[in-house]
Amino acid sequence: MRSCRTAIVGVGNVLMGDDGIGVHVIRALADSVPEDVDLIDAGTALHEAVYELKGYERVVLVDSVEAGDVPGSVYRMELAELLKIDGSTRALSLHEHSVVPTLREAGLAGLELGEVVLIGVEPCRVEWGLDLSPELRARLPVVIEAVMREASPVCVGAERTGVDTDEHNHQ
């Protein structure tokens, strides 16, 4: 068994409060990830950063996700689930170039990505401001734990081990 080369990608606009949760996670992890894990601050430019992901065996995206649940709810979705989402809506993401269309376009352009998982966080406040809402600040350790759980499994061929998720992929 060996560890996987992993990228944790923070997505979001830090000028818009909770929309910047992905970037806040990257900043919080700055000095605490294993050497086989790279941190990428994509901000609102995932459509540009996606090409940096070639060669990673695992990609963990972190972004705000509007799914209508309680603010601070944490969601886990794999690439296959994400690609089933209707591309005609701004489903999930709050950005102009959101996660789903970006991943779809990357695939059409021939970019082969390793295993892709989105850790999404339900925002409380998306408005001008540099800080996370108190609700998301309080949930930051839970979000980081979910991200690191995805980044830590070891690779066995194309499989991975060590990830526990509940039936609904919702924490």
Name the strands in the sheet holding 154-156, side by side, starting at the edge strand that comes first in the sequence.
2-3, 154-156, 159-160
Tens digit of each residue's pLDDT (9 = 90 or more) over 4-45: 899 999 999 999 999 999 999 999 999 999 999 999 999 999
The pLDDT of residue 111 is: 79
Is residue 72 in some structural domain?
A: yes
Is residue 104 in some structural domain?
A: yes
Structural domain count of the chain = 1
Where is pLDDT greater, at 79 or 17? 17
Tens digit of each residue's pLDDT (9 = 90 or more) over 156-165: 554 433 333 3
Range of the domain at 144: 2-160
Distance from the Cα of residue 69 to its chain's centroid: 18
Q: The pTM is what? A: 0.83
Q: Left (φ > 0), alpha (ψ -120 to 50) or beta: where does 31 sit? A: alpha
Q: Alpha-carbon distance 95 to 90, whole Å? A: 8
Start-to-end CA distance of the chain, whole Å, equals: 28
